Amino acid sequence: MGSNPTLSASAEDAAACESRHFVYVLHSASRGVCYKGSCGDVERRLADHNAGRVRSTKSGRPWVLRHCEAFGSKTEALQRERFLKTRSGYRWLKARGLV
């Protein structure tokens, strides 16, 4: 019996998606502010923010996802998050109309 490359490719794709880390920017229209963070599951994290389960964003509900970037490692995602929280990162986001 031969191998099934389609199944192997699908398994690899699934593993790659599971190991992805994301940096995201949320916007609160009620407070007029943005929040930058990182996580492994953006949809779940956005739901946490909007359900009031995150202390730092509880008062800004509802939050809307404005920007999201995927990275292959948590280290890369954390580096990008740190950059976006700097003055240069703010300028980068502002130049793209994200804040």
CA triple 20-62-19, angle to 5 deg: 5
CATH number for the domain spanning 58: value is 3.40.1440.10
Q: In angstroms, rounded to a whole number, what is the distance separating the alpha carbons of residues 36 and 33?
A: 10
Residue 5 domain flag? no
Task: Please provide residue 13's backbone torsions phi and psi, each rounded to the nearest 5 degrees.
Answer: -60, -45
Per-residue model confidence as pLDDT tens digits over 49-89: 999 999 999 999 999 999 999 999 999 999 999 999 999 99
Q: In angstroms, rounded to a whole number, what is the distance separating the alpha carbons of residues 44 and 36?
A: 15
**pLDDT of res. 19:** 65
pTM of the predicted model, to two decimals? 0.80
Number of domains in the chain: 1
DSSP string, 6-40: HHHHHHHHHHHHHT-EEEEEEEETTTTEEEEEEES
Judge contact between 50 and 29, C-beta under 8 A. Answer: no
Place of tokens 């599951």: 41
Query: Which of the four pLDDT bands, split at 50, 70 and 90, describes residue 18?
Result: low
Give me the chain's average pLDDT, please: 87
Residue 14 domain flag? no
Residues of the domain holding 33: 19-95
Residue 74 domain flag? yes
